[in-house]
Structure 1
Amino acid sequence: MQRTPRCPSLSKGESALAKPKISGVHIVRKETKSGRKEYHYAFRGGPRFWHSSMGPATGPAYHKAYARIMEKHQRVHFGCAPDSVSAAIRAFCDSIAFAKLKDRTQRDYVKYLDAFEGEFGKEPIKMFEESDSLIEIEEWKSKAFGHSVHAYDYATTVVTRLLNWAQKTGRLRFHHHNNVERHYKVDRSGHVWLPAEIQALLDVAKERERRIILTCSEGGLAPVDACALTHGNVRKTPRGRRLYFHRKKTNNVTSFPVTPALAEVIDTTPPGQQTLLVSLRGKRLQPERVSQIVKDVVRRANRAASQDASKTPVRTDLRLYDMRGTAATSLLRAGCSLNEIAVCMGWSMRTASSMIERYARVVPEVTDEVLDKLERAEQAQRRRQFDA
């Protein structure tokens, strides 16, 4: 039987913040556009349990991640049948299909796969060829994720992805978890930050908060893309500059013009700072932190508005991601074509058409501009009739 290293426990009095050496851990270092990254594997050829974007490889969290992956490795490889659900999950997590997923998606999948394994791990994977398995999966989802419609649907997605992979690799002949109804539906096209609301945030924001707000609202960037921006993403054009990058979510090429506000962010980036945006303490900015920073500024802006009637309050149901719609409507109002908007936002033509149609209905400035165009058209028609 292959023996694998056990997770060492911290000795009494040993500092949890000291960087302990775990025997057998295999570390791979890679140079990327955003800097050097480290990937930690339980052993050479073994499962990955840590990477540099998760934070420093020190302390209890690091040890816990190592212990968890080792316990799972032992359970899957030495404590379950090769045709079990646990073995299928392990093989899926080691597959190229899983490796192709983004790091954030992998972390999300692991949470749901762990819960799924806890319920069905010892069962044979062939159980899902039976139609009654649908009832068991539904009961599990209701018990584990019934508190959240979004989490319930995400569990549906992960299980379907796992079973589709099992079918493609011959572990299943077929399964019944296809075309399962989704319940989480949301249309946030009506939630667009108005110019006055963005200005209300800027009025109370600190310098690093201001840079984050300007980048997301002017460039229409998702937090994960905004956090990764460097001077290498700034390209010269015949008449100015642009932000050029691949969206993390879709890998679509995005090319957005550098507006005066974005130019302010780029040109005032301190020398030696690797990314254009940093955390409030000057460290690497994490995408999960960006939303909370904006929420804090919203609360501060509304506190100021409650004390001064001349200030604009900000709607509390707005989210950071809604700033992408704000940027799209700005392009629409500037007279950009559908193709230009698609390129700038990193959307397909179909998505751009659908999104612009929605946003155009809810932005009051667009309505006023359409009214002006109609009035100018009527005046031109009357002049032509008079001249005739």
Structure 2
Amino acid sequence: MRVRLKGVNRVSKRLADGSSVTYYYAWKGGPRLPGKPGAPEFIAAYNAAVAERLQPPPGTLSSVLRAYQDAPKFQDLALRTRRDYAKHIAKIEEDFGDFPIAALSDRRTRGEFMNWRDRLAAKSRRQADYAFAVLALILAWAYDRGAVPANPCERPGKLYRSTRVDNIWTAEDEAAFLKVAPPHIGLAFMLAIWTGQRQGDLLRLTWKAYNGSTIRLRQRKGNVPVEVPVGAPLRAILEATKREAVTILSTTRGTSWTESGFRASWRKACEAAGVEDLTFHDLRGSAVTRLAVAGAQVPQIAAVTGHDLKRVETIMRDHYLGRDSALAATAIRLLEAYEGRTKIPN
């Protein structure tokens, strides 16, 4: 069987004696290959040339980017995260692949990278921040290992600011959604709002994780173990759900969801309910909000959702609770109760 090698450049020449000869090169301008196509020495020389070409020049940012993608730090990330990172890494390599590692300690380098982020922001500030964050974390990884002399991308601040005060699932949104959502999608909603977990973790959640009173899981992001007590409304739905698949959440065919399939069905349910500008991920923040409105403290909320304490405080302060009147009302009721029990001395 003849193997077709991609990119091989064929050049025919006429010799002085009138005969013609064909030379083969690994690619246009590449090294000349010995023998004829299909011969063992020809294939070996081609593979060696391609392998050498794929190796990034030493001392360049490309070599750092490739090393990071081969490292456990990258390989241990969730599949979707690796795909997102790889997309941004490809862009970084396209724009800065030949950037000298030695130049990272130059004071002007930070400005070069910041200007690059500004150019990306012309299309999307959020994606510009993401790409810059990926570059920063790779350089931090390399700096810790002595592979680069400096990390000029530390603490850049953000271009994209999301105010998610209005991106809370209200009781009205919940009622509208559950009224039209099919039961298997409604179950996903209830799991999310009563546990505060991410979509990916909930789609992977098996029936073995539920013991009738708690749900135990290990979050993919951060590898955080969580044990969530199951509230009565969620417990009632779980107990009434047929266990057709290994996972708690399943399709109408009784099979586990793919992420793309679930997102498509979720989107249809939102459209049918007339719910706009709200995502599944907003349920995680909404769970934080509801727990806070109910009087739960930061450590209690973190124990349910798996956030670290600072992240819960940030969500409450910056994104979700800044204008929540119910939270303010709860605070005043607590104050009234306290003042009613405590006599102020004359």
- Identify the TM-score tier after normalising by the shorter chain: 0.7 to 0.9
Match of 1:266 in 2: 238
Measured after TM superposition, the shift of residue 138 of structure 1 is 3.8
Aligned pairs for 1:1-388 within 5 A: 74=50, 78=54, 80-144=56-120, 146-235=122-211, 241-279=213-251, 282-287=254-259, 290-302=262-274, 314=275, 316-356=276-316, 359=320, 362-370=323-331
3-state SS of the aligned residue for 1:256? strand
3-state SS of the aligned residue for 1:235? coil
Q: 1:167 to 1:283 in 2, by over 3 A?
A: same
TM-score, scaled relative to structure 2: 0.72
Q: Deviations over 1:199-243 (max 9, x none)?
A: 11000111222111121122222111211111121135xxxx011
Measured after TM superposition, the shift of residue 297 of structure 1 is 2.0
Q: 1:374 to 1:92 in 2, by over 3 A?
A: closer
Structure (1 or 2) with the larger CA radius of gyration: 2
Verify the 8 A CA contact 2:295 2:330 in the aligned structure 1.
Answer: no
Verify the 8 A CA contact 2:203 2:249 in the aligned structure 1.
Answer: yes
Verify the 8 A CA contact 1:145 1:151 in the aligned structure 2.
Answer: yes
Opposite residue 82 of structure 1, the aligned amino acid is P
Give unpaired runs (5+ residues) of structure 2: 7-46
Verify the 8 A CA contact 1:235 1:243 in the aligned structure 2.
Answer: yes
Measured after TM superposition, the shift of residue 105 of structure 1 is 2.0
Q: 1:157 to 1:6 in 2, by over 3 A?
A: farther
TM-score, scaled relative to structure 1: 0.65
Match of 1:51 in 2: none
Opposite residue 202 of structure 1, the aligned amino acid is L
3-state SS of the aligned residue for 1:177? coil
77-86 or 341-350, larger mean C-alpha shift = 77-86
Verify the 8 A CA contact 1:83 1:124 in the aligned structure 2.
Answer: yes
Partner Cα separation in structure 2 for residue 232 and residue 121 of structure 1: 47
3-state SS of the aligned residue for 2:217? strand
Measured after TM superposition, the shift of residue 114 of structure 1 is 1.0
Partner Cα separation in structure 1 for residue 54 and residue 327 of structure 2: 64
Opposite residue 93 of structure 2, the aligned amino acid is E
Q: 1:285 to 1:7 in 2, by over 3 A?
A: farther
Q: Deviations over 1:119-177 (max 9, x none)?
A: 23244433333334334434444445530101111111111122223333333222433
363-372 or 205-214, larger mean C-alpha shift = 363-372
Q: 1:371 to 1:164 in 2, by over 3 A?
A: closer
What's the % identity of the aligned pairs? 23
Q: 1:290 to 1:222 in 2, by over 3 A?
A: farther
Partner Cα separation in structure 1 for residue 120 and residue 322 of structure 2: 39
Q: 1:123 to 1:373 in 2, by over 3 A?
A: closer
Q: Deviations over 1:241-285 (max 9, x none)?
A: 011222222333322221233224432443341111124654432
Q: 1:380 to 1:115 in 2, by over 3 A?
A: closer
Partner Cα separation in structure 2 for residue 262 and residue 354 of structure 1: 27
Q: 1:88 to 1:193 in 2, by over 3 A?
A: same
Measured after TM superposition, the shift of residue 335 of structure 1 is 4.0
Verify the 8 A CA contact 1:223 1:290 in the aligned structure 2.
Answer: no
Could you say what the CA RMSD is over the residues aligned between the two structures, in angstroms?
3.4
Opposite residue 104 of structure 1, the aligned amino acid is R
Verify the 8 A CA contact 2:192 2:199 in the aligned structure 1.
Answer: yes
Corresponding pairs, count = 300
Verify the 8 A CA contact 1:189 1:355 in the aligned structure 2.
Answer: no
Match of 2:35 in 1: none
Give unpaired runs (5+ residues) of structure 1: 9-70, 303-313
